[in-house]
Amino acid sequence: MALALTLAAGSLGAETLLSGSVGLAFGGRTDDSKICYGGTLTLKGSSPFGFAVDYAYTPDFFGSSRYGNNNLNTLMGNLVLMSPGHLRVYGSAGLGLVKSRVEDVTGLFEVDSNELGLDVGGGLLIFPGDGSLGIHGDLRYFRSLTDPEPDDEFDVDLGSLDFWRGEVGITIRF
């Protein structure tokens, strides 16, 4: 899917940014800072607006002492507002999937949860010279969304899962 989006963006004259990153999830529901890994595919035309798909994986998100195997995955679709040039400041906000998995220490039960979530944040992207290789730093806030009353009505409220993610990484520009 990423390859198809990149080829389509190239034929439309859009800029494609592919970023890999490593960072920390902290605050909120984490018992302390947890390392996370991920990547982002951003498509941006000549306007300052773009669209990004962001994925991150955080092992032992809920802590290894209280729970057995556990992790958190986020997959977000974001609208992006980015300045032009070699030094770019950007803001991003979107919605997506927050998937958590928790297994008890004895391995007898496992709980998987898929929730709607939101993220908001921003960062700095630097392309030294005219090259296609850059570096970025990013800080985002994540929050799960929930249905407060299980009925047939569409209503959304803030969920109990929240955290911050800070990351740094390499970005390739196509």
| CA–CA separation, 88 and 136 (whole Å) | 9
Which has the closest alpha carbon to 115: 73, 79, 58, 78? 73
User: 84's torsion region: left (phi>0), alpha (psi -120 to 50) or beta?
Assistant: beta
pLDDT for res 12: 53
CA distances to 40, 52, 144 from 167, rounded to whole Å, are: 12, 16, 20
Question: Is the backbone of residue 39 left (phi > 0), alpha (psi -120 to 50) or beta?
Answer: beta
**Domains, the chain, ranges and CATH?**
2-173 (2.40.160.20)
pLDDT in tens, the chain (174 residues): 444 444 444 445 689 999 999 999 999 888 789 999 999 999 999 999 999 999 999 998 987 766 678 899 999 999 999 999 999 999 999 999 999 998 876 667 788 989 999 999 999 999 998 889 999 999 999 999 987 777 777 777 888 899 999 999 999 999
pTM for the whole structure: 0.87
Query: Hey, how many other C-beta atoms are within 10 angstroms of the C-beta on 30?
Result: 20
DSSP sequence for 45-83: -SSSEEEEEEEEEEETTT-TTTSSSEEEEEEEEEEEEE-
